């Protein structure tokens, strides 16, 4: 973890336990500073709702006001960190419970991002369509093997993330999900 990243604690996990707030945070990270009006237009919600979610993110220290762009009437917001880090195996019980709510919201936010991507896939320029990938693999692994796989994948992603931006590049969503296939592992009656 470097200084541009934030390790999510119980309070920030609770702030991010809403799919719209996760989407807003990612919009600010990927697209740069924006106003509530711009966020509302992008997400198809009313500006009051966008403003509410921005205020919650700011109260959690996840975004800050961009005073260089503000003009008194318009408040511009930007992400305070490049990336959020959450290790579901770390922390006390209340943090693990908040982490489960965050993970649920994260899945819902990613579903929406995939829905929007599906609308654009047929319209992508050939150079982007030819390199885009949508993989779905089912592996039989132990929890220790999943942890090792996750660490190896994150090392590769970190190498690309830490390289300087290349001319002609665009933000690319790289999603890594690793979880038991639903219905294959007995569920915990007490998830805390």
The DSSP bridge partners found for residue 79 are 63
Q: What is the CATH number of the domain that holds 114?
A: 1.10.10.10
- pLDDT tens across 109-137, in order? 888 888 888 888 888 888 888 888 878 88
Q: Is residue 57 part of a domain?
A: yes
Compute how many other C-beta atoms are within 10 angstroms of the C-beta atom of residue 182. 7
Calpha distance 133→11 (Å, rounded)? 35
Calpha distance 62→102 (Å, rounded)? 14
Q: Is residue 30 part of a domain?
A: yes
Q: Is residue 70 part of a domain?
A: yes
Number of domains comprising the chain: 1
The reported pTM is 0.73
Q: Is residue 189 part of a domain?
A: no
Q: Is residue 16 part of a domain?
A: yes
Give the per-residue pLDDT at 128.
87
The per-residue pLDDT of the chain, averaged, comes to 86
Q: Is residue 79 part of a domain?
A: yes
Residue 68: give the domain boundaries: 5-125
Residues 80-107 have a mean pLDDT of 82
């Amino acid at each position: 973890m470097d200084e541009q990243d934030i390790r999510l604690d119980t309070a920030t996990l609770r702030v991010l336990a809403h799919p719209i707030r996760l989407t807003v945070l990612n919009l600010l990270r990927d697209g740069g500073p924006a106003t509530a009006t711009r966020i509302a237009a992008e997400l198809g919600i009313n500006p009051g709702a966008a403003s509410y979610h921005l205020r919650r993110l700011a109260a959690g220290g996840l975004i800050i006001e961009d005073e260089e762009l503000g003009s008194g009437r318009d408040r511009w917001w930007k992400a305070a960190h490049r990336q959020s880090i959450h290790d579901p195996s770390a922390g006390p019980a209340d943090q693990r419970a908040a982490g489960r709510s965050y993970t649920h919201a994260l899945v819902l936010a990613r579903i929406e991002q995939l829905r929007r991507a599906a609308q654009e896939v047929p319209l992508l320029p050939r150079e982007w369509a030819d390199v885009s990938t949508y993989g779905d693999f089912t592996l039989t692994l132990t929890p220790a093997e999943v942890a090792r796989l996750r660490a190896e994948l994150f090392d590769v992603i970190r190498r690309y993330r830490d390289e300087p931006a290349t001319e002609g590049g665009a933000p690319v969503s790289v999603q890594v999900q690793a979880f038991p296939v639903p219905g294959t592992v007995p569920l915990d009656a007490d998830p805390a």
